[in-house]
Structure 1
Amino acid sequence: MNTTEHEKQADAHREAMERLCREYGEALKTYDMAKAAGDSALAAQLELVVAEKSNVMQAYMERHLESRAVLH
Structure 2
Amino acid sequence: MGAINDNERADVYLEVMERLCREYGEALKAYDKAKEAGDPEVASRLVLVVAEKSSVMQAYMERNQKGIDAALH
- Report the equivalent of 1:41: 41
Separation of aligned partners in 2, 1:69 and 1:18: 22
Q: TM-score, normalised by structure 1?
A: 0.94
Amino acid of the structure 2 residue aligned with 1:31: Y
Structure 2 counterpart of 1:51: 51
Unaligned runs of 5+ in 2: none
Identity among equivalent positions (%) equals 58
| Amino acid across the alignment from 1:44 | S
Q: TM-score, normalized by length of structure 2?
A: 0.92
Aligned residues: 69
1:11-42 deviation per Cα after TM superposition (whole angstroms, max 9, x unaligned): 00000000000000000000000000000000
Distance 1:42 1:63 in 2: 32
Deviations 1:34-53 (A, max 9, x none): 00000000000000000000
Structure 1 unaligned runs (5+)? none
CA-based RMSD of the aligned residues comes to 0.9
User: Would you identify which runs of 4 or more consecutive aligned residues in structure 1 move more than 4 Å?
Assistant: none
What is residue 24 of structure 1 aligned with on the other side? 24
